[in-house]
Structure 1
Amino acid sequence: MITGLDYGTSNCALSARQQNATGDTRIALVPLENGKHFLPSTLYALERELIVESVAQNIQNKDAQQDFITSRRNQLTQANRVRVTHDIAASEQALFFGKEAFSHYLEQPDEGYFVKSPKSFLGSSGFRPQFIEFFEDIVTAMMQNIKHKAEMHLGASLTHTVIGRPVNFQGIHSEKSNTQALSILTTAAKRAGYQEVEFLYEPIAAGFAFEEQLTQDKTVLVIDIGGGTSDCAMVRMGPSYRDKIDRSEDFLSHTGERVGGNDLDIQLAGKNFMPLFGMESELKNGLPMPTQIFWDAVTTNDVSAQTTFNSLPTEMSLEQMLRDTKEPKLLNRLLLLRDNKQNFQLVRDAEQCKIALSDTLVNQVDLNYIEKGLYCDVSREAYTKAIQPPLSKMIKLMTQAVNEAGETPEVVFVTGGSAQSPIIRDAIRKSLGNVEILDGDHFGSVAAGLGVWAERIFA
Structure 2
Amino acid sequence: MICGFDYGTSNCAIGVKDGGAIRLAQVDGDKTFMPSALYSLGRELICEQVAHHLPPSLKDEFVAIRRGQLQSALRVRRELDIATDEQVMFVGHQAFAHYFADPEEGYFVKSPKSFLGASGLRPEFMHFFEDIVTAMMLSVKQRAELSLGRELKQTVIGRPVNFQGAPANDTGAELSNQQALDILGRAATRAGFTDVEFLYEPIAAGLSFERSLDKNQTVLVVDIGGGTSDCAMVRMGPQHRVKDDRRDDFLGHSGERVGGNDLDIQLAGRQLMPLFGMNALLKTGKPMPTKTFLDAVCTNDVGALGRFASLETGLYLEQLQRDCAEPQLIERLIRLRENKQNQQLVRSAEECKIALSEQDPVAPDLSYIEAGLTTQISAAQLEQAIARPLERITRLMEEAIAQAGEQPDVIFVTGGSARSPLIRQAVARTLGDIPILDGDHFGSVTAGLTEWADKIFR
Q: Calculate the TM-score normalised by the size of structure 1.
A: 0.98
List runs of 5+ in structure 1 lacking aligned partners. 19-23
1-structure distance, mates of 2:336, 2:13: 32
Report the 3-state secondary structure (helix = DSSP H, G, I; strand = E; otherwise coil) of the residue aligned with 2:83: coil
Amino acid of the structure 2 residue aligned with 1:148: Q
Q: In structure 2, what is the equivalent of residue 46 of structure 1?
A: 41
2-structure distance, mates of 1:280, 1:112: 32
2-structure distance, mates of 1:311, 1:11: 29
2-structure distance, mates of 1:353, 1:35: 26
Where in structure 2 are the equivalents of 1:302-341 lying within 5 Å? 302-341=301-340
Amino acid of the structure 1 residue aligned with 2:38: L
Q: In structure 1, what is the equivalent of residue 26 of structure 2?
A: 31
- Pairwise CA distance, 1:382: 0.4
1-structure distance, mates of 2:69, 2:307: 24
1-structure distance, mates of 2:220, 2:57: 45
- Pairwise CA distance, 1:165: 0.2
Where in structure 2 are the equivalents of 1:344-423 lying within 5 Å? 344-423=343-422
1-structure distance, mates of 2:266, 2:193: 38
1-structure distance, mates of 2:244, 2:51: 37
Q: In structure 2, what is the equivalent of residue 209 of structure 1?
A: 208
**Which deviates more, 182-191 or 29-38?**
29-38
Match of 1:121 among 95, 111, 115: 115
2:165 is equivalent to residue 166 of structure 1: no
Where in structure 2 are the equivalents of 1:59-74 lying within 5 Å? 59=54, 61-74=55-68
Report the 3-state secondary structure (helix = DSSP H, G, I; strand = E; otherwise coil) of the residue aligned with 1:114: strand
List runs of 5+ in structure 2 lacking aligned partners. 167-171
Report the 3-state secondary structure (helix = DSSP H, G, I; strand = E; otherwise coil) of the residue aligned with 1:435: coil
2-structure distance, mates of 1:40, 1:433: 35
Q: In structure 2, what is the equivalent of residue 253 of structure 1?
A: 252
Q: In structure 1, what is the equivalent of residue 435 of structure 2?
A: 436
- Pairwise CA distance, 1:26: 1.1
2-structure distance, mates of 1:285, 1:73: 53
- Pairwise CA distance, 1:427: 0.7
2-structure distance, mates of 1:458, 1:50: 35
2-structure distance, mates of 1:86, 1:332: 30
2-structure distance, mates of 1:443, 1:115: 21
Structure 1 residues 242-296: Cα deviation after superposition (integer angstroms, max 9, x where no partner)? 1212111000000000000000000000000001111001011110000000000
1-structure distance, mates of 2:287, 2:301: 25
Report the 3-state secondary structure (helix = DSSP H, G, I; strand = E; otherwise coil) of the residue aligned with 1:375: coil
2:71 is equivalent to residue 57 of structure 1: no
Where in structure 2 are the equivalents of 1:288-299 lying within 5 Å? 288-299=287-298
Q: In structure 2, what is the equivalent of residue 21 of structure 1?
A: none
2:85 is equivalent to residue 91 of structure 1: yes
2-structure distance, mates of 1:340, 1:276: 16
Amino acid of the structure 2 residue aligned with 1:205: A
Structure 1 residues 407-440: Cα deviation after superposition (integer angstroms, max 9, x where no partner)? 1111000001111111110110011011110001
1-structure distance, mates of 2:29, 2:153: 24
Structure 1 residues 212-231: Cα deviation after superposition (integer angstroms, max 9, x where no partner)? 11111110000000000000
Q: In structure 2, what is the equivalent of residue 446 of structure 1?
A: 445
Runs of 4+ in structure 1 off by over 2 angstroms are none
Q: In structure 2, what is the equivalent of residue 104 of structure 1?
A: 98
Report the 3-state secondary structure (helix = DSSP H, G, I; strand = E; otherwise coil) of the residue aligned with 2:239: coil
2-structure distance, mates of 1:70, 1:279: 47
1-structure distance, mates of 2:203, 2:302: 29
1-structure distance, mates of 2:79, 2:329: 38
- Pairwise CA distance, 1:13: 0.8
2:300 is equivalent to residue 301 of structure 1: yes
2:217 is equivalent to residue 218 of structure 1: yes
Report the 3-state secondary structure (helix = DSSP H, G, I; strand = E; otherwise coil) of the residue aligned with 1:276: helix
Q: In structure 2, what is the equivalent of residue 17 of structure 1?
A: 17
Structure 1 residues 30-71: Cα deviation after superposition (integer angstroms, max 9, x where no partner)? 111121111000000011111111101111x21211211121
Amino acid of the structure 1 residue aligned with 2:45: L
Report the 3-state secondary structure (helix = DSSP H, G, I; strand = E; otherwise coil) of the residue aligned with 2:263: helix
Task: Give the aligned CA root-mean-square deviation in angstroms.
Answer: 0.8
Structure 1 residues 288-342: Cα deviation after superposition (integer angstroms, max 9, x where no partner)? 0000000000000000000001112211211111111110111111111001000
Amino acid of the structure 2 residue aligned with 1:329: Q
Report the 3-state secondary structure (helix = DSSP H, G, I; strand = E; otherwise coil) of the residue aligned with 2:362: strand
Report the 3-state secondary structure (helix = DSSP H, G, I; strand = E; otherwise coil) of the residue aligned with 1:254: strand
2-structure distance, mates of 1:134, 1:34: 27
2:78 is equivalent to residue 79 of structure 1: no
- Pairwise CA distance, 1:25: 3.7
Amino acid of the structure 1 residue aligned with 2:41: L
Q: In structure 2, what is the equivalent of residue 8 of structure 1?
A: 8
Q: In structure 1, what is the equivalent of residue 196 of structure 2?
A: 197
2-structure distance, mates of 1:40, 1:253: 30
Report the 3-state secondary structure (helix = DSSP H, G, I; strand = E; otherwise coil) of the residue aligned with 2:375: strand
Q: Calculate the TM-score normalised by the size of structure 2.
A: 0.98
